[in-house]
Amino acid sequence: MVEFEAWLLDAYADKGTAVAWFTDISGRPIRAHFKYRPDFYVHVDEEHRCNVRNQIEALTGVMAVEEVLRREAFSQEEKTVLKVTMRDTIYFNKIVRKLKNLEFVKLYNIHILHSQRVLYKLGLEPGCKALLDLAYDGSLLSLTKVDDREVLPPPFKVLAFRLTKKGRYTIDRIDVFSGPTKIGEFAGEPNKILFEFASVVRSEDPDILICNARDDTFTMLLAMSRLYGMNLQLGRDRTDIASLPRPLPYWVRGRVVLDEQHFDPLLGCWGLAGILERSRFGFLPIDLAAEWTSNRLVDSRNTFELLQHGVLIPAKPKYFEPRRNVGEMGIKDKGAIIMPPLLGVHDNVAELDFESEFANIMVRDNISYETISERGDIDGLLPGVIKKFLDRRLYFKRLRSSLPQDSEELDYCEQRQTSLKLMLCVLYGTSGCAWNRFGNVLAFEKINAMAREVMLEATKVAEERGFRTLYADTDSLFVRREDATETEYKALVETLNESIGLPLTLDHHYRFLVLLPRKEDAHTPAFKRYYGLTYGGELVCRGIECRRHDTPLFIKEVQEAMMKALLFKDDLAEVYTKGLADSIRVLNMALKRLERGDIEGSRLCVTKIMRKEADQYFSLLSHVSAGLRMKAEGEDITSDSFISYIYKSSDHRNPLCRVVPFTMKTSTYDTSKYKDLLTGAASTILAPLLTRGMKMAQGSSRLDDYI
């Protein structure tokens, strides 16, 4: 017997054997295995039960059939069902399909993937640490989970590569990277490229492979390997590529393949630590956790939790929504409260944030699918799930303040808490969704009703203590009181915590906060659109140009410089006078630089994502035109490709001539277009100040008059 401390990388079923791959502290791969006997349940009325049982027992691949008592999910009534245990995975789907055709039969637990079943059997999520006892032949004797809150990911070895096509069906080159370092560059004949690439994979022996266009890339690699008669081995378990039904995951057993899009900041990526948190939450293999929608991750976690209590999981959604008229729906089906912002510049403002408000409400009030329409005196499924991951998310969220800025630990910590935040939001958001297997719209409505009560109570308590509400949005409250100190704001937070019973934090204490109007109407308040300067000197922005990934870097820099010139002042009067003048001065200097043409092309690039193939667009939008030009130059442009371009002549009659791909170097740009973009960004932050500020300075209230 051998003992190890290791992290789970992947698990899957291979006929009658379950295989689990681990990585120890030194990065060494460990293969463990144990017997795997998948099962499912059949409910049939008593009249047909004996006959159906005899038929099932006679089927090839069935190991045992027994009568057991089980209850369906969220039901208190037990019923007799047939538990069917299979010898392996070979005939599982065939038998399930045959039984589905019987009218008087209802099947349970048939939707669960074999890889999920193996993980459930292990009781360990990928990325988690465990103490292993293995026999000398690799058989798993015992496994003990080690609960950890480590910020850094496990010591998984990562290898990235990028495949470039020549045309549609031929490989042009493969570049291989270990971290930021390129360790291989293979070009020439396709069979030579394939052989050298497979050799690098074997020698480096990575746990995780990252590539562009994951599914397309491996489909191409498999097709080319078969074409050249090469039985290439890219996994740790040997396979015969001629018999593979598809490349992933069968061709790379013992490794995990991820798409590079999950690591790109332009897509709001999760990063490796974030993907591992999704895998832990969903109790899913790492690659599925990255590819599946969040709703499916919630379903997988719910399934695991219910199976621990031995309940039956229906194959089809059991969505509940009562029949109601429009009037009843109007009363019950309301979202959270939003109080319109008070436009303008405000000083000494506190932003109070409910920490995971909806998740905490579900835990506090025991709100779940089954506790609303049936019994409210039982412990709900959702509060139990939420409590575990809410505590974990808040741990990482609070840990951030103690980590060094720009450190690797801070990045990983942010990935983890952001990923968990999304999953907790989805738990709430899908609680009444028809696509949720157990969705109950009454639960969703109850959560929203309680959230409205919480916000109304919070504003009432704050106003009773002399604080004015400037803006309230779902789970954030912006309040102000003349000459209030940070200590007094923190005292308000403590008072609200006690009176409401939900955790709040003082998220930001602003020296100045600017609440912005809608772009279309300068007199109508906009939601989630503001910027401000904290007493700590931090610039906080929401819903404006510098937060968008497709805003050119130069315009982001100028907008941020204008905000700093405006807000780094002593008081409101100085913001409206000297600050406004300084901000416009920054704008004018930037406009002159544009006119001189001395801005580097990389800082004027607009980057957008192709959401579909270029030839599927009906309109030649700017990024589509750039993508078509790049494709004409031989570049591999597909859906999800990032297109970077520069405006060359935005008024040109031919859309293809309006922009130039960044890869096609150009020394000139459309000055007029970039001036429009820049003045638009400037108007965003200055619009609420111009009228009052220029009146104080006896000037015009039009921005154009100062450019």
pLDDT in tens, 143-189: 999 988 899 999 999 999 999 887 767 888 999 999 889 999 999 89
pLDDT at 493 over 90: yes
Residue 35, token pair as written in the block: 């017997």
Q: So what's the pLDDT on residue 286?
A: 96
Least confident of 294-303, 475-484, 695-704: 695-704
Q: So what's the pLDDT on residue 564?
A: 96
pLDDT at 268 over 60: no
pLDDT at 639 over 80: no
Residue 643's CB is within 10 A of a number of other CB atoms, namely: 27
Q: So what's the pLDDT on residue 697?
A: 39
pLDDT at 510 over 80: yes
Q: Which residues have CB under 8 Å from 636's CB, separation 6+?
A: 164, 165
pLDDT at 699 over 50: no
pLDDT at 393 over 80: yes
pLDDT at 135 over 70: yes
pLDDT at 664 over 60: yes
Find the mean pLDDT for residues 432-461: 90
Q: So what's the pLDDT on residue 318?
A: 66
CB 497 within 8 A of CB 477: no
Q: What is the mean pLDDT of the chain?
A: 89
pLDDT at 267 over 60: no
Burial 416-436 (b: 16+ CB within 10 A, else e): bbbbbbbbbebbbbbbbbeeb
pLDDT at 264 over 70: no
Residue 322's CB is within 10 A of a number of other CB atoms, namely: 10
Q: So what's the pLDDT on residue 169?
A: 72
> With bands split at pLDDT 50, 70 and 90, how would you rate the model's confidence at 334?
confident
Q: So what's the pLDDT on residue 695?
A: 40
Q: So what's the pLDDT on residue 319?
A: 58
Find the mean pLDDT for residues 9-28: 95
Q: Considering only residues 636 and 430, tell me which one the structure prediction assigns the higher pLDDT.
A: 430
Q: Considering only residues 319 and 199, tell me which one the structure prediction assigns the higher pLDDT.
A: 199
Residue 331 phi, psi dihedral angles, 5° rounding: -75, -45
Find the mean pLDDT for residues 480-503: 94
pLDDT at 132 over 50: yes
pLDDT in tens, 587-605: 999 999 999 988 998 899 9
Q: So what's the pLDDT on residue 320?
A: 63
Residue 231 CA to residue 236 CA, distance in Å, equals 14
* pTM metric for this prediction: 0.85
Residue 461 phi, psi dihedral angles, 5° rounding: -65, -40
Find the mean pLDDT for residues 196-221: 93
Residue 286 CA to residue 128 CA, distance in Å, equals 11
Find the mean pLDDT for residues 542-565: 94
pLDDT at 463 over 60: yes
pLDDT at 694 over 50: no
Residue type, 422: L
pLDDT at 700 over 50: no
Q: So what's the pLDDT on residue 705?
A: 57
**Helices and strands per DSSP (H, E), number in the chain:** 20, 24
In DSSP terms, 504 is beta-bridged to 354
Residue 107 CA to residue 118 CA, distance in Å, equals 20
Find the mean pLDDT for residues 477-488: 95
Q: So what's the pLDDT on residue 441?
A: 87
Q: So what's the pLDDT on residue 603?
A: 92
Q: Token match 């990065």: residue?
A: 27
| % pLDDT > 90, the chain | 68
